């Protein structure tokens, strides 16, 4: 029996982190990932073949100030060159979001008869965002009309699709997933804690330090400045620890705010408290989580963005970490009330209070970590989620038979 040919179209956003959700599907489908020659993420170690297409407007991608211009005249910045010729003959294209240029390209390839079906994962949780640009709204309307099925990352994304006019029967909730064997606590038989110990030593942490981990893009809306403010309060006012565990902060990632964040840490005298790693290879991330005691995601809402799913959350949860998160977007839905403490966005005082509460309560940390690991096994395991995607794709393709 011939395996259906499926292209996963992700453009410049192609990453190992996201593609791992599809890797178990190679038993049933011939998979190819479609990225861009200029991509921002770690695409190494993806187990199925990749094609990197040129960005049509590569020059403008380098200058964020041109984004508004691109949205006005073209609707989006993410258009892939040589697209039709590369996807011709595929049974199904799977893309992401309603307003991406390459999503419209996928839909139009179907309308021209180059491919048979198109499905899309949707993370967006703010209805009508970007519709002030008529060309972006036009992309959305054409995509909604011709996508065969939508995979909403969570209930918030499903509700957003319903408000946008998508029929309920065309939506299935399919969350992001994680490799629960790769991301596992130290107590797993596969891991003995040696590599996390070496990572702690690499970053200057002792075995007795209490490590607060945060990972992600270094952009304002991810709440990094509130984490630094919390570190200042914890380390320099009433929680200067001598004999007990010292609270240390490990901040992983890169982005436009990194330079300013480092300057702020230096000005506040936190160089021995806050450690920046920059980007690190995805293959090192499991050990990075295992080297920490708790995980923090302090995202802030903006006019055009709320935290959508928080893929780093399920990686932390799989590793048995308790979560401190803000009440923004899908954070609490992803974790669940038993797996973390949740505080208002941009409230550094409540953020540091939540960190201190977990610091002072090892049994609470243990209960939350066990709850998180159990939830990941039940709900976010790669193979469980892949099975759901397989059934959707086969159902969509069965209509053709």
What's the pLDDT tens digit per position in 180-225? Answer: 999 999 764 344 456 788 888 888 898 889 999 999 999 999 999 9
| Residues 363, 136: Cα–Cα separation, whole Å | 50
Q: What is the pLDDT of residue 299?
A: 97
Domains in the chain, CATH or no CATH each: 5-177+381-398 (3.40.50.2000), 194-380 (3.40.50.2000)
Q: How far is CA 40 from CA 232, 279, 325, 391, in A?
A: 31, 11, 25, 31
Tens digits of residue pLDDT in 230-282: 999 998 765 555 556 789 999 999 999 999 999 999 999 999 999 999 999 88
**Whether 115 contacts 84, CB under 8 Å:** no
Alpha carbon 209 to chain centroid, angstroms? 28
| Residues 310, 222: Cα–Cα separation, whole Å | 11
**Whether 76 contacts 136, CB under 8 Å:** yes
* Token reading at 392: 């959707």
End-to-end Cα, the chain, rounded Å = 14
Q: How far is CA 291 from CA 192, 335, 359, in A?
A: 12, 20, 15
Global pTM?
0.91
Q: What is the pLDDT of residue 300?
A: 96
**What is the Rg, in whole angstroms, of the alpha carbon atoms belonging to the chain?**
22
Tens digits of residue pLDDT in 335-377: 999 999 999 999 999 999 999 999 999 999 999 999 999 999 9
- 75: confidence class by pLDDT, cuts 50, 70, 90: low
Q: What does DSSP assign to residue 177? A: -
* Token reading at 109: 């390839």
User: How many of the other CB atoms lie within 10 Å of CB of 66?
Assistant: 14
The candidate with the shortest Cα–Cα distance to 17, out of 366, 343, 321, 252, is 252
Tens digits of residue pLDDT in 1-13: 789 999 999 998 8
User: What would you measure as the largest C-alpha separation in the chain, in angstroms?
Assistant: 70
Q: What is the pLDDT of residue 192?
A: 44
- HSE at residue 138, side-chain half, CA atoms within 13 A, is 9
Q: What is the side-by-side order of every strand in the sheet holding 274-278?
A: 274-278, 247-252, 210-215, 294-297, 323-326, 340-343
The answer on pLDDT for 119 being more than 50 is yes
Q: What does DSSP assign to residue 376? A: I
- Helix 348-360 vs helix 362-375: crossing angle, to nearest 10: 100
Q: What is the pLDDT of residue 189?
A: 39
Task: Give the dihedral of Cα atoms 96, 9, 288, 381; nearest 10 deg.
Answer: 70
* Angle at the Cα of 49 from the Cα atoms of 29 and 183, rounded to 5 degrees: 85
Q: Which single residue is written with the structure tokens 């008529």? A: 134
Tell me the torsion sign for CA atoms 284, 24, 46, 313: negative
Which residues fall within 8 angstroms of residue 395, CB to CB, at 6 or more apart?
A: 149
């Amino acid at each position: 029996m011939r395996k259906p040919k499926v292209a996963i179209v992700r453009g410049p956003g192609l990453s190992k982190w996201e593609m791992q959700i599809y890797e178990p599907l190679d038993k049933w489908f011939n998979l190819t990932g479609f990225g861009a020659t200029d991509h921002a993420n770690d695409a190494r170690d993806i187990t199925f073949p990749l094609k990197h297409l040129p960005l049509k407007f590569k020059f403008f991608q380098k200058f964020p100030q041109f984004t508004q211009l691109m949205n006005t005249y073209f609707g989006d910045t993410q258009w892939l060159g040589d697209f039709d010729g590369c996807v011709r003959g595929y049974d199904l294209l799977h893309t992401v979001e309603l307003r991406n240029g390459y999503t419209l390209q996928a839909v139009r390839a179907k309308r021209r008869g180059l491919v048979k079906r198109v499905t899309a994962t949707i993370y967006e949780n703010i209805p009508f965002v970007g519709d002030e640009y008529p060309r972006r709204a036009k992309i959305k309307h054409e995509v909604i009309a011709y996508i065969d099925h939508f995979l909403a990352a969570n209930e918030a994304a499903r509700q957003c699709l319903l408000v946008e006019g998508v029929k309920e029967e065309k939506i299935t909730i399919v969350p992001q997933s994680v490799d629960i064997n790769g991301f596992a606590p130290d107590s797993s038989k596969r891991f003995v804690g040696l590599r996390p110990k070496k990572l702690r030593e690499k970053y200057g942490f002792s075995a007795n330090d209490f490590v607060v981990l945060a990972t992600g893009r270094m952009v304002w809306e991810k709440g990094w400045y509130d984490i630094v403010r919390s570190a200042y309060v914890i380390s320099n006012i009433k929680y200067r620890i001598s004999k007990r565990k010292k609270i240390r902060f490990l901040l992983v990632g890169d982005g436009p705010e990194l330079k300013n964040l480092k300057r702020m840490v230096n000005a506040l005298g936190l160089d021995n408290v806050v450690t920046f790693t920059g980007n690190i290879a995805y293959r090192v991330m499991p050990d990075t989580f295992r080297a920490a005691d708790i995980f923090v995601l302090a995202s802030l809402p903006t006019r055009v963005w709320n935290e959508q799913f928080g893929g780093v959350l399920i990686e932390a949860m799989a590793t048995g970490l308790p979560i401190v998160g803000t009440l923004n977007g899908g954070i609490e839905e992803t974790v669940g009330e038993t797996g973390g403490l949740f505080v208002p966005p941009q409230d550094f005082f409540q953020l540091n209070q939540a960190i201190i509460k977990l610091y002072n309560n090892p049994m609470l940390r243990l209960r939350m970590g066990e709850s998180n690991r159990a939830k990941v096994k039940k709900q976010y395991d790669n193979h469980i989620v892949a099975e759901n995607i397989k059934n959707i794709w086969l159902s969509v393709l069965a209509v053709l038979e």
